[in-house]
Amino acid sequence: MKRIRFRRPAKKKIIQIAAPVIIILVLFALFGIYSIINGSKAPVQDRVEQGLITCEDLGCPENTLFIGSAQSNVYHECISSYAPTILPQNRICFYTAQEAEDAGYRPAAN
């Protein structure tokens, strides 16, 4: 069997191509591991308690978790980035998702 010898420039090119590919693969693997670990969303109550934003900050009664607008039929979690944009005079607070749905609201897409 004949032995194949690489010239130095060929080895250098292989290393120049392989190194970034390996780095990218490692980054994807790390991102995948991170996604698996943090993939499950914490329950709504846990995220509210983390201080991201509370319904009370938006003027709702204590222990409410959802907010809707009188101008639409969509409700949001209070921690949603959209929730603070609802005008104060249009805010309708709900304790549960079921309560919002019973009032004719549907969950926001986000």
pLDDT in tens, 45-87: 555 556 567 888 888 998 899 999 999 999 999 888 788 888 9
pLDDT confidence tier of residue 20, bands split at 50, 70 and 90: confident
Q: How confident is the model at residue 100 (pLDDT cuts 50, 70, 90)?
A: very high
At 100, give phi and psi (nearest 5°).
-65, -45
- Residues 50/53/59/61 CA torsion (nearest 10 deg): -30
CA nearest neighbour of 77 among 43, 44, 109, 46: 44
pLDDT in tens, 37-46: 665 555 555 5
Q: d(Cα 34, Cα 73) in Å, to the nearest integer?
A: 35
User: What pTM was computed for the model?
Assistant: 0.52
- The mean pLDDT of 92-101, rounded to a whole number, is 94
